[in-house]
């Protein structure tokens, strides 16, 4: 995708408070990248290289990839991993798959094998403990895969154990409210790509607009053809951090871009610092961090 249609990369820094986070994990830094859509057209090599360089410069403790590495055919994953193999973190790199990674019967296996071969752990309704038993990382199957089944996964966790949950589609935040989710990381929406100030993602209006548009004209209106209007139900969670009951959801705007491009919705690398909610507030932690830099 041409840079003019994509816009400059933005790094989003946020601090997330988690109850019962162990003292030795205070200040743990996560990096999230999502929705690459690496297919020779929707993500330029220069933007990809910039995103990976920014991620490594941040020296994250853990790197998390939240799906859609390709768009249709899985073959581009073999070129993408030549870039992803340069990612570096203290506790490893973990990934989940998105709906585009499941387009063909062989897509899941081919993409999983390619990522695994460069030491990226692919989670499919699985739990791992990158920092030890005090913090769980849960990776769920894609919402549309037919295998999204969080109940048996969460039944393996003690309620007192803090956990980060990877789930490609943010719509899963609604059914996941049945369980403790200290932080859910999602992508899938591309932030809506075209966002109007004070109004929000134009995509949120696609369904009613489609109903009002004569069928012969839909092919000429951006996003009106195909299934674009079905991307998510909850466009109010298109990008950013949300508090949903006791759970927290963060939605990454992704790196790849569909035509006609992005407007007020730049591609994103997310850097997340974890703190214990009992030890200090997010505001207090940020103030201490600023004072530390000044000193």
Exposure string (b/e) for 181-201, b if CB count within 10 Å is 16 or more?
Answer: bbbbbbbbbbbbbbbeeeeeb
Lowest-confidence pick of 38-47, 62-71, 281-290: 281-290
Structure tokens of 227? 């299934």
Global pTM exceeds 0.85: yes
More confident residue, 221 or 246: 246
Percentage of the chain modeled with pLDDT above 70: 89
The two most distant CA atoms of the chain are separated, in Å, by: 65
Provide, rounded to the nearest whole percent, the portion of the chain with pLDDT above 90: 81
Q: Phi first, then psi: what are they for 114, rounded to 5°?
A: -65, -40
What is the C-alpha separation between 2 and 86, in angstroms, rounded?
Answer: 24
Secondary structure (3-state) at 201: strand
Tokens, residue 178:
């049945």
Question: Would you state the pLDDT for residue 35?
Answer: 98
Q: How confident is the model at residue 285 (pLDDT cuts 50, 70, 90)?
A: confident
The answer, yes or no, to whether residue 31 has pLDDT greater than 90, is yes
The average pLDDT across 281-291 equals 72
Q: Indicate the SS3 state at residue 16.
A: strand
pLDDT above 80 for 263: yes
Backbone φ and ψ for 153, nearest 5 degrees, come out as: -70, -50
Sheet holding 126-128, edge to edge: 126-128, 136-139, 163-166, 183-186, 247-251, 240-244
Contact yes or no for 195/204 (Cβ under 8 A): no
Per-residue pLDDT averaged across 190-196, rounded?
96
């Amino acid at each position: 995708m041409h840079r003019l249609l994509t816009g400059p990369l933005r790094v989003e820094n946020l601090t997330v408070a988690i109850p019962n986070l162990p003292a030795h994990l205070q200040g743990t830094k996560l990096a999230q990248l999502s929705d690459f859509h690496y297919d020779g057209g929707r993500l330029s090599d220069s933007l990809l290289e910039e995103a990976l360089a920014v991620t490594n410069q941040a020296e994250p403790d853990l790197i998390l990839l939240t799906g859609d590495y390709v768009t249709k055919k899985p073959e581009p994953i073999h070129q993408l991993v030549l870039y992803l193999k340069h990612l570096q973190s203290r506790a490893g790199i973990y990934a989940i798959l998105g709906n585009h990674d499941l387009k063909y019967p062989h897509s899941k296996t081919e993409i999983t094998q390619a990522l695994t071969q460069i030491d990226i752990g692919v989670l499919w309704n699985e739990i791992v403990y990158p920092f030890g038993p005090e913090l769980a990382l849960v990776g769920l199957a894609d919402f549309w895969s037919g295998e999204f089944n969080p109940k048996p996964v969460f039944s393996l966790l003690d309620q007192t154990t803090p956990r980060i949950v990877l789930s490609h589609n943010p719509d899963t935040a609604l059914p996941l409210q049945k369980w403790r989710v200290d932080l859910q990381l999602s992508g899938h929406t591309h932030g809506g790509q075209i966002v109007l100030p004070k109004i929000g993602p134009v995509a949120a209006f696609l369904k009613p607009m489609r109903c009002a548009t004569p069928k012969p004209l839909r092919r000429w209106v951006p996003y009106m053809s195909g299934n674009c209007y079905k991307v998510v139900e909850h466009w109010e969670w298109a990008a950013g951090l949300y508090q949903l009951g006791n759970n927290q959801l963060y939605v990454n705007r992704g790196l790849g871009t569909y035509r006609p491009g992005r407007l007020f919705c730049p591609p994103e690398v997310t850097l997340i610092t974890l703190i214990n909610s009992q030890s200090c507030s997010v505001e207090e932690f940020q103030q201490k961090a600023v004072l530390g830099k000044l000193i």
